[in-house]
Amino acid sequence: MVSPAGNTSGTEATNSSKPLPPHPTATTTTIAATTIPDDNTTLTSAPQINTKSGASIYSKPLMLTAYDKYVLGFSMTHLWRCPSKTILIPLFRQNFRAEKHLDIGVGTGFFIGDALAERLAKDEHLMPLERDQDSKLVQLKIEITLMDLNAVALEKAKGRIMGVVNKARAAGGHGNGGSGKQSEHGTNVASQTVNVTTIQADVLDESLVFPHGKLSEISKQFKSVSMFNLLHCLPAAPEAQGGQEIKNRAFKLAAACLADDGVLVGCTILGRKYIANPSRPSHGSSGGTGSGSGVPVRKGGSVGRTTSSKKPFILKRSMTWTVMKWYNATGVFGNWADEREGFEKGLRENFEVVETHVEGCMLLFNAARPKRSEL
């Protein structure tokens, strides 16, 4: 698994020490995934919950405009005590496999846009390579799939990715007049492509991952799957219908989509229990299971530790409590009772290797080796 603390994963794509400079063109595809299963799909009876409330807020004109600064900036730092810059961005970057990535719950596309920009800006270590039929090193296409229930968010994220691609292409063409300069490996670097696919779907729709479901054609394909700030936006069902465990369907979907050597990475805001304790450790233990576990998602650092003054923390805690309660009351969040243990259970049911870590109010998680079951 890869963490911001270091590169320890056995799932990292093989890279050459001399990758080709990235100068991609871009193509775009859109898939509409309905929530109605195919006629020949057999479904077990499962409670359905309304996920539209958490998704619909991203249709508001000002929400996506303010999202990066307010949600990923102010809120992550001052409310949830897990800054994007020092924790979430490194976590996403180091688990991002550009050659085949699925982002579930896209927001504004901030994290994937940042990771892709970093990937395209470097030509020494990060761009994936493979050998063609003539044994020449060639650059793999970058294939990114975006999945979300909200069409506005999908378009915003897709536009962000295309902007990153066009900027990289313009920067690449500046030095050679855009002529498609041949690399030392004999590949026309201007012909490299970035494919962006959007899928409008409900992550909790179990029919999506069945053999004849709407997404069966993309099962077991992705080298990485991310779900950042998704789970706390999903409503919890009543305890009699599964409560927090209903959200663990998202892990089932991720496991079905991941390749055998793929990696899942994500984060979510936990519930009220994680607001109250000012002494919660900032770099606690890993909740790993299976071979290769035991590597914390994040090591060291002082982010999220208790402030030296108790009064400022009490004020922040009160603000965090108020904001979380209001978000849950309005349906923006559904995480009031969410706990680490519930998500760990869902991860372990679907993956052989699981690593979790609590930072402030946030749960960070990695998972690998998806479990396969006959459906």
Angle, CA of 203, 324 and 154, to the nearest 5°: 35
Other Cβ atoms closer than 10 A to 73: 15
Collapse the DSSP code of 367 into the 3-class scheme (helix H, G, I; strand E, B; otherwise coil) and give the result: strand
Q: How far apart are CA 220 and CA 216, in angstroms?
A: 9
User: Residue 329: which residues within 8 A CB-CB, separation 6 or more?
Assistant: none
User: Residue 156: which residues within 8 A CB-CB, separation 6 or more?
Assistant: 58, 64, 106, 108, 109
Q: How far apart are CA 303 and CA 312, in angstroms?
A: 16
Q: How far apart are CA 340 and CA 273, in angstroms?
A: 10
Domain boundaries, the chain: 65-170+191-280+313-370
**Nearest of 259, 237, 233, 255 to residue 246 by alpha carbon:** 237
**Fold held by 65-170+191-280+313-370:** Rossmann fold (3.40.50)
Q: How far apart are CA 107 and CA 105, in angstroms?
A: 6
Supply the DSSP string of 13-56, one letter for each residue: PP--SSPPPP--EEEEEEEE--SSPPTT-----------HHHHH
Collapse the DSSP code of 273 into the 3-class scheme (helix H, G, I; strand E, B; otherwise coil) and give the result: helix
Q: Count CA within 13 A, CB hemisphere, residue 312.
A: 7
pLDDT tens-digit profile, the chain (375 residues): 544 443 333 333 333 333 333 334 455 555 554 333 333 333 333 445 554 544 445 545 555 678 899 999 999 999 999 999 999 999 999 999 988 999 999 999 999 999 999 988 875 444 555 555 666 666 667 899 999 999 999 999 999 999 998 888 777 654 433 434 444 433 333 445 788 999 999 998 888 866 667 777 888 999 999 999 999 999 888 876 777 889 999 999 999 999 999 999 999 999 999 997 644 443 334 445 443 443 344 433 333 333 334 555 667 889 999 999 999 998 889 999 999 999 999 999 999 999 999 999 999 999 999 998 754
